[in-house]
Amino acid sequence: MLKKTLLLSAIAATCCVNAGGQNYPKLGTDPIDEVINAMTLDEKLDMVIGAAGIDTDEKATIGNSSELVPGAAGQTNAIPRLGIPAIIMADGPAGVRIDPTREGTDKTFYCTHFPVATVVSSTWNTELAGQIGQAMGDETSHYGIDVLLAPATNIMRNPLNGRNYEYYSEDPLLAGKISVAVVNGIQSNGVGTSLKHFALNNQETNRTSNNVVGSPRTFREIYLKPFEIVVKETQPWTVMTSYNRINGTMASERADLVTEILRHEWGFNGMVVSDWFGGQYATAQMEAGNDLIMPGKTAQREELKRSIVNGHISMEIIDRNIRHILEFIMRTPTFKGHKADNNPDLKAHALITRNAATEGMVLLKNDGGALPLAGGTRKVAVFGRTSYDFIAGGTGSGNVNHAYVVSLTEGLGNAGLRIDRKVQKAYLDYIPKAKAALDKGKKERDRFLPEKLIDEMELPQDMLDKAAKGNDMAIITIGKTSGESMERNVSDNFNLTPAELKMVEGVCGAFHKAGKKVVVILNVCGPVETETWTSMPDAILCVWLPGQEGGNSVADVLTGKECPSGRLPMTWVKRYADVCNKADFPMPDEISEDLINKALAAFKDKRTEGTVRNFDYTEYNEGVYVGYRYYTTKGVSVAYPFGYGLSYTTFEQGRPEVSVNADGDITVRTTVKNTGGMAGKDVVQVYVSAPGKDMDKPARELKGFAKTRKLAPGETQTVEIKIPYVSLASFNEKDSQWQVESGEYKVMVASDAADMAPMTVTVSEKGRVTERVRPCLLKEMK
């Protein structure tokens, strides 16, 4: 009772501070403690609950709850008397997402649609990733945004995840290092990033309440590792907690995740913000160290106020979180008086996105030198609806309101190629009618859900025969897209549809009969099944979702203006049945309407836990054997392995020189020579095989990589890759510690994760414990 009386007295005192118009302390001028002490209870609630929660929940919509910048994801509350401005946050994994139009002006506010994260990671080029981030941050600054809600560095656990295009890799090192470069690039403009979604947000099905069940070792070695790399190497301004539960408790309500691991172990010094409407109890989020709840709901504000008044949460915790928020605010451009000019250099950024997309394209097949296009190739027949309606990116928060998208046919035309007009006219007549028929009678689609694509057009045999006779070659585009809130279907998204297979078979048959070559372009959101049709075309180029300049970027590679140098950031299996965790991931083809409705209700209501496997809970039974770690260890044959990619030229890598210093750090030096006839870039991949005596270990793990500069024919570059000793450590759950085992380590310079004859050097390491930590992420934490 005494504690409650003292708390109420403190609240009353803060409500009376500086009453009567005295001089109030000001943020940035006076100590933060004085500013916090001067706040009333309502003002403190203003600080920890987003601006959408002041008056009515109706103001808050996912991804659009900012009044200062229309279309921005959200903003904080201002307290003018204390010198605290409202801070603006915008979605941004592929570029700034705001509304292109505003009331009272004819000016448009377009942003550059950059290549999606999968394209960026496929470059294996951290320098290029930094340049993309720098351009993103520049637009963020010009449009008056303080924080870009990006990058998203969750692991691609399963190829069906609807949001994989926003993520970087199935491998934590590649995902982490590319994310570091993006964060540094964005924040070099004096704006912030929000590293997301922390953590274990690896499926979209029932994402707001699904319970991820797994072991601390699995979580720490695979799913937390890219976040750890980014936090330790670059300090993002903010980290966004994820929707899901982790071993029974909401991620944003786990103090062991948000405070113990993120702040105490990794040394994070920024602000922690919830995902929009994430979490279950505001009080638990505050206690866990989730500083700011976005976009804010009246109910959350009321709950927190009751908890404070009734003594269920200490004011010290609220003040701690407010301190983190105020320290963050003081770093922002808005606080420093920056004024938006709304005039970024979109032309310059269009060139950056065009060049970046070319480097992230992966050449999967190139029989008989089908690519680049031969010098005599002038007329091409272009098939596939997506050739004329190119897909720049995914939907939801990863979308961008861009001014245009260059289609493949436009890009080919810009490159000087002539498009078969009869084939083109057939598609241009078909596409709008098919879209109208698809939309007829449909309810308005949630903009966060993936767009449903029209079926492929029937191709009469006489059209194919005439096209084969009158053109130099054929190009087919296969398009697949995905978005938030649901996974990709196996039947028509991971697999090609019957109509798509028929198109590939028909075009290849007609053109090969005429002695002409066929190239397939994969304008896709993730891996697709290729085993049933890969033998048909002469070449396959995976271009992913390459941004608004996509058609020009693809044409640059097809014509040989640019040499492909992308490598796969994930494994492509032969069939979905080969996926390592297929039994422990939602199957969208089997999810009923009732379950979908349940998920929507849970999202809007109390998020009750259920017992439906892979819906209410998902078990990570594969442990650390994610992606190539599984396929290489178990000897499973795949269509295209992690790290795979062809080139128009050839490279020769020299015998690696491997040394170990007194601290156990490994240095790998090797030479790369362009032995072909075209300038290009190569990727050096270094994998390490541990002794595997102390605990079970994968056959090999990526421990370092580097991309060369563009090497002219005959040119050589020496590449040096450092592997820190601590990166060899595995997590011992029993003793809650990171440890390196003693023994012989195989250091392998390989062409990809499945390379059966890598250049290998064996080194000896002494084992020791590298870090002891408190037990975290155990089951049923309350």
Distance CA 212, CA 229 (A): 22
pLDDT of residue 611: 81
581 belongs to a structural domain? no
Residues 405 and 259 in one domain: no
Residues 209 and 282 in one domain: yes
pLDDT at 3: 44
**Under 8 Å CB-to-CB from 621, ≥6 apart: which residues?**
581, 583, 584
* Residue 397: per-residue pLDDT: 81
Determine whether 275 is an active site residue.
Answer: yes
Residue in this structure with the two tokens 């983190």, named with its chain if needed: 324
Q: Are 411 and 546 within one domain?
A: yes
On whether the CB atoms of residues 223 and 247 are closer than 8 A, the answer is no
CA distance linking residue 442 with residue 41, whole number of Å: 47
Cα angle 424, 430, 431; round to 5: 90
Give the tens place of pLDDT for each residue, 282-293.
999 999 999 999
CA angle 750, 753, 758 (to 5 degrees): 30
**Residue 745 sits in a domain of what CATH number?**
2.60.40.10
Does the residue 159 lie in any domain? yes
- Report the 10 Å Cβ neighbour count for 12: 11
**How far apart are alpha carbons 512 and 517 in whole angstroms?**
6
In angstroms, the Cα distances linking 757 to 206, 649, 688, 751 are: 43, 21, 14, 9
pLDDT of residue 606: 53
Where b means 16+ CB within 10 Å and e means fewer, 166-199 reads bbbbbbbbbbbbbbbbbbbbbbebebbbbbbbbb
Which residues lie across from 149 on neighbouring strands? 91
490, 576 in Cβ contact below 8 A? Answer: yes
Regarding whether 527 and 665 lie in a shared domain, the answer is no
Asked whether residue 607 is domain-assigned, the answer is: no
Element (H, E) at 540: strand 539-542
- Residue 445 pLDDT: 55
**Are 421 and 527 found together in one domain?**
yes
- Write the Ramachandran bin of 21: left for phi over 0, alpha for psi from -120 to 50, otherwise beta: left
Report the CATH number that the domain containing residue 458 is assigned in CATH.
Answer: 3.40.50.1700
- For the chain, how many structural domains are there in total? 3
538 and 680 inside one domain: no
Joined together, the tokens standing for residue 583 give 């039994």
Question: According to the model, what pLDDT value does residue 398 have?
Answer: 83
How many angstroms separate the CA atoms of 34 and 25, rounded?
A: 6
Q: Does residue 611 fall inside a structural domain?
A: no
CA–CA gap between residue 767 and residue 226 (Å, rounded): 24
* In a shared domain, residues 313 and 350: no
Does residue 471 sit in the same domain as residue 550?
yes
Does residue 545 share a domain with residue 455?
A: yes
How many other CB atoms are there within 10 angstroms of residue 448's CB atom? Answer: 17
Q: Tokens 């803060």 appear where?
A: 14
Q: Which domain holds residue 510?
A: 346-570
Which CATH number covers residue 21? 3.20.20.300
Of 275, 389, 556, 616, which one is the catalytic site residue? 275
Strands (DSSP E) contained in 74-206 are: 74-75, 88-91, 147-149, 192-198
Tens-digit pLDDT profile for residues 14-37: 444 444 457 899 999 999 999 999
Q: In the prediction, which pLDDT does 608 show?
A: 55
Q: At what angle do helices 461-470 and 498-513 cross, to 10 degrees?
A: 40
Please give the helix or strand (H or E) that residue 745 lies within, else none: strand 743-750
> Virtual CA dihedral for 428, 433, 435, 438, nearest 10 degrees?
-150
Indicate if 324 and 366 belong to the same structural domain. Answer: no
Percentage helix, strand, coil, to 5, in the chain?
A: 35, 20, 45
Q: How far is CA 214 from CA 209, 616, 716, in A?
A: 16, 14, 46
- From 570, 595, 620, the end of a domain falls on 570
How far is the C-alpha of 154 from the C-alpha of 152, rounded, in Å? 6
β-bridge mates for residue 704, sequence order: 686
Burial class (CB in 10 A: 0-12, 13-18, 19+), 644: buried
Q: Which residue has the tokens 């940035």?
A: 28
pLDDT of residue 83: 97
Q: Are residues 325 and 351 in the same domain?
A: no
448 part of a folded domain? yes
Query: Where does a domain end: 511, 542, 570?
Result: 570
Residue 384 and residue 293 share a domain:
no
Tokens 């697999």 belong to which residue?
495
Report yes or no on 724 lying in a domain. Answer: yes
- Identify the segments of the chain with pLDDT beneath 70: 1-21, 53-65, 441-448, 592-593, 595-610, 780-782
Domain termination residue (choose one: 570, 596, 617): 570
> What are all long-range contacts of 57-61, with beta carbons under 8 Å and residues at least 24 apart?
57/297, 57/298, 57/299, 60/276, 60/277, 60/295, 60/296, 60/297
Neighbouring C-alpha atoms within 13 Å toward the C-beta of 260: 12
Q: Evaluate the omega torsion of the peptide bond into residue 151 and state whether it is cis, within 30 degrees of 0.
A: yes
